[in-house]
Amino acid sequence: MYSLAFGIGTRNSNMEWLEVYFPRPLLKPDESIVREISKILGYQGGNQDIDLDDALLAQLRDAVSDIDQKKLLAEMIGSQKPCVATLLESDDALTTTPETYLKLHLLSHRFRLPNEQNLTDIYARLPNVAWTDIGAVDPQELPALQLQARKQGRVIEVAGIDKFPKMTNYVVPSGVRIAHSARVRLGAYLGEGTTIMHEGLVNFNAGTIGPNMVEGRVSQGVLLDSGTDLGGSGSTMGTLSGGGTIIVSIGKDCLIGANAGCGISLGDRCTIEAGLYITAGTIVQLLDENREFVKKAKARELSGQSDMLFIRNSQTGQVECRTNKKAISLNDSLHQHN
């Protein structure tokens, strides 16, 4: 069994799932709990979502031996929102909205690292949702609710229209600081000690090992290793648009300066100076330790190497790669008391 979870969610008037909250998902659960719930739910294998009413919740509560799951099931009884059990026998391509939400939860709960799960067809499985102060709403049904609210002297606050909700409405990882929660999507992986500043953004299936300082954008598929600083308005190149397929990773103790960007993987102790965007096709002059010219190369040929310093020569305008003789060090006081 790959994973299982019990959740509470929202459906539209057509009984289609909009979102699901899985408070205590299990990755590779013990076979005993799979046997316990399979008998009650009639589960015979495969990836499946099973609707739960109060009677089934009570039976599951009485049957499971796992204390945390027993407590959760007891708390779900009497829910005014629809409940579901999602069981994933394998890490196959996504087929339903609850399956998709479960895999996003696994990332934000730190059960899976970015790029470790099959997220094929994720956009097709996530409906567009109006995220409001009364919960998830089908955008087609929003106008009627807004009118009803106005008649009662209220205003429905619509925070956004998107397929992905903000992570902190579902998962709050331990030991992190997030200055602006709307800029971290469900499915982000934030390691212990990570700080996300006000303009920092972390997409789904992306994140940090921790501790890290993020003041720029961590795109889908990108993972920053520990001790790395992504400067203000800095960015990492993902694979969601433009036909990109290369997955970028950033090593330990790296610095991507303010307004800089990275479209190749970096090893450890690398620096890209402020304002310089390195793409795979960027022509780079390689210099030796004496700053003597060695050769020209495209940046993709340097992908994954350590101890590199990328700068733009202020006199010639050429992008240069030198040996990085001094690695950065994060300010411990910003991260150890998260």
CA torsion sign for 294, 300, 304, 308 is positive
Active-site annotation holds for 215: yes
Q: Residue 141: is it exposed, middle or buried by C-beta count within 10 angstroms (0-12/13-18/19+)?
A: middle
* Angle (CA) 113 117 122, round 5°: 115
Strands across the sheet containing 235-236: 201-202, 217-218, 235-236, 261-262, 277-278
Phi, psi (rounded to 5 degrees) for 255? -135, 120
Residue with tokens 């030796």: 288
DSSP class of residue 2 equals -
CA nearest 160: which of 132, 127, 125? 132
Catalytic residue among 19, 36, 215, 273: 215
DSSP class of residue 3 equals E
DSSP class of residue 105 equals H
DSSP class of residue 269 equals S
Task: Indicate which residues carry an active-site annotation.
Answer: 215
